[in-house]
Amino acid sequence: MRILITGITGRIGGNLAAQLLEQGHQVRGLVWPKDPRIEKFKDLDLELIEGSLTEYEDVQKVTEGMDVVYHLGAAFQGGGPFQDTDYFDINVRGTFHMLKAAEASDTLKQFIFASTDAQYAKYPIEGMDKPIREDHEPSKPTGWYALSKSMGEELCNGYWRTSHLPITILRFSMVVGAGEILDFRQFYLSKMKDRDDLQNVWKGEERLLLLKDMKGRAFKKHIADVRDIVHGCICALGKTEAAGQTIQLGGPRPFTWDEAVPYLSQRLDIPYQEATLHGAPTFYEFDLTKAKKLIGFNPQYDIIRMIEDAIAYREGKTIDVLPTK
């Protein structure tokens, strides 16, 4: 199939392109002019076209003749700084341009839109006792990134209802690339020491933190390795039954701090200590039943495997992932 990827130079887009090429598909990417990250594609047989999501003529040109669109391109929190107008122009207006071009296409069979778990209010003061289900948990975006993605979802759903454009929305959990789990901020006292409830804990020496909430529960979080997110994108390809659906993706299971931190402490030879944080805790997980049943999603990279692969990556060993930058 002829497949277009917007945001192809990102961590997900680049690895998705490589896997699609391995499967024999023809891949085209929309890239910002002079994007230095195109260097990673020098050994891949794909087509890169310069253009902007904010210009409809560019979008129309790059969409022409495509069978499938993966719309991953967006202004996002970690890639800024972005102004409010950037989030609107790139994420909202850009998504409208993509949908408009897709609707006008004579060849398009599927449109896959990348969204985010920032749709959910994941941090209530008591934590979340029940797993989050994408069809049950209401969308409550805060901040311009989440709001722009919510508006993008509404545009997609509107085009599905009105024009029967075969759209699937994939909500990504927090995505961790090669080596990044070792730098996760909430694991390290030095990165958390400015909090009021930790200032008396810092003694000038690094410690890992086994964080607990006011109920004595270890923090719990559900993230995903970039390879599992790419796997989910591949799973959605060609699934006609997923048209009109919103599907949450994540790792094979959530992790808790009392599992991850002692293991990380042993592997990095950094002592750890327990600490209780006040306020809203990190305590949530996703129910991935829909993703597994509807598109055959089968994530593989839990927190232990992510730590082991991150250490291997830092040591210069090869793992099956393109550079994240």
pLDDT digit string, tens, across residues 151-183? 999 999 999 999 999 999 999 999 998 889 999
pLDDT-derived band at 80 (thresholds 50, 70, 90) equals low
Residue 200 has a pLDDT of 84
Mean pLDDT across the stretch 202-213? 94
Q: Quote the number of domains for the chain.
A: 1
| Packed helices 257-268 and 303-314: angle between N→C axes, nearest 10 degrees | 20
Q: How many residues does the chain have?
A: 325
Q: Considering the domain boundaries, does residue 124 fall inside one? A: yes
Q: Which of 214, 314, 323, 202 is nearest to 264 (CA)?
A: 314
Please list, in sequence order, all residues whose beta carbon lies within 8 angstroms of the beta carbon of residue 264, skipping any fewer than 6 positions away.
182, 187, 208, 270, 272, 307
Mean pLDDT, rounded, of the chain: 93
CATH code where residue 16 lies = 3.40.50.720
Q: Considering the domain boundaries, does residue 190 fall inside one? A: no
Residue 320 has a pLDDT of 65
Neighbouring C-beta atoms of residue 45, cutoff 10 Å: 8
Portion of the chain with pLDDT greater than 70, in percent: 96
Q: Considering the domain boundaries, does residue 88 fall inside one? A: yes
| Entry pTM | 0.94
Mean pLDDT across the stretch 78-90? 84
DSSP string computed for 91-149: IIIHHHHHHHHHHH-SS--EEEEEEEGGGS----TT---S-B-TTTSPP---SHHHHHH
In angstroms, the CA 246 to CA 229 distance is: 15
Q: Considering the domain boundaries, does residue 306 fall inside one? A: no
Any idea which residue has 């087509």 for tokens?
A: 47
In angstroms, the CA 215 to CA 24 distance is: 52
Residue 105 has a pLDDT of 96
Cα separations (Å) of 37 from 8, 48, 76, 167, 323?
9, 12, 17, 28, 10
Residue 179 has a pLDDT of 86
Owning domain of residue 158 = 2-177+225-251+287-299
Q: Considering the domain boundaries, does residue 282 fall inside one? A: no
Q: Considering the domain boundaries, does residue 215 fall inside one? A: no
Residue 32 has a pLDDT of 84
Q: In this structure, are residues 190 and 104 in contact, taking their beta carbons and an 8 Å threshold?
A: no
Q: Considering the domain boundaries, does residue 280 fall inside one? A: no
pLDDT-derived band at 24 (thresholds 50, 70, 90) equals very high
Hey, what are 37's tokens? 């990250």
Q: Considering the domain boundaries, does residue 261 fall inside one? A: no
